[in-house]
Amino acid sequence: MDNMKPKVIEIISKILDGLGKGKSLEELNKYFSQKKKYDKQTLSIAFSLIYDKIILQNSFQMLEEKAGIHKSRKSFRFLTEEEKDVLGVENYNYLMHLINVGLINPTTLEDILEQISMFPENKVSRNELNWIVLLSLVDFESDVPPGSRILLYTSDSVN
């Protein structure tokens, strides 16, 4: 399993790159499955982290709506000139795309912008941004959601 971690990170990084190029998760899943560079279990873990994050984001939005809280969907924060310079238009559009597909929410965007502000350089590369987004996918403070696909192996069967 320890050998698998770098491969999972590599796959998630490639998924994020694909999303940045406008590809859907379904297209990326089909592409990786056909390429056969990675085993099914590793692909399952990587995609399950992505899907679990999207499902979790959607669940939070539904709970907020039921509670009468609409801040996550309706609020939008404009970037300062300094943030625009450091992030760049292409990376900003990439982050907006990740919000649209449900991978990150405005709160996560704030966290990402905060991390970027700590960079010593004036510009953030796509690779650096992918690492920050990748780290945002893993919620270290929460337990694995019940029924999570993270715990399934290729030998498991689902009814």
Domain boundaries, the chain: 4-151
39/146 Cα distance (integer angstroms)? 25
* Residue written as token pair 């679990």: 52
User: What is the C-alpha to C-alpha distance for residues 14 and 140, in angstroms, rounded to an integer?
Assistant: 22
pTM: 0.62
First-to-last CA distance in the chain?
A: 26
The two tokens of residue 122 are 């004036």
Check: CB of residue 72 under 8 Å from CB of residue 64.
Answer: yes
Contact 33, 51 (CB under 8 A): no
pLDDT tens across the length of the chain (159 residues) = 456 667 887 888 788 888 878 888 889 989 988 888 888 888 888 888 888 877 777 776 677 677 776 554 556 678 888 888 888 888 888 888 888 777 888 888 888 998 888 877 778 888 888 888 888 876 545 554 444 554 454 555 554
